[in-house]
Amino acid sequence: MFGRALFTREPIKTLVIPRESLVSRHELAGVFVLGSDGLVHLRWIKTGRSFDTMVEVLSGLTQGERILADGSKGLDGARVLEESDHQG
């Protein structure tokens, strides 16, 4: 007997961030998340697959949260001045 099956599925949506946003400490990975108070805080996340310049986030971060583009420049508790803060 012989048979063929074709399975279709919806595209998988996944959260990815730029690799430069990651902060690595030993085997831990984190990002600096911008809070509503204008302060950044280091948050540990669980990463998945790596792509060219992007890394999949499995947990610890939700879509829409703002993170620092360059994690190496982050300092926990630092205030971030946004572009609108410089104009005036």
Domain ranges of the chain: 15-70
Average pLDDT, the chain: 89
Question: What stretches of 5-81 adopt beta strand conformation (E)?
Answer: 15-18, 23-25, 28-34, 40-50, 54-59
Residue 61 has pLDDT above 80, yes or no: yes
pLDDT at 1: 81
pLDDT tens, residue by residue, 23-56: 999 999 999 999 999 999 999 999 999 999 999 9
Residue 87 has pLDDT above 60, yes or no: no
State how far the Cα of 33 lies from the Cα of 29, in Å rounded to an integer. Answer: 13
Domain 15-70 in this protein, CATH class: mainly beta
pLDDT at 86: 52
Question: Sorting pLDDT into bands at 50, 70 and 90, what band is 83?
Answer: low
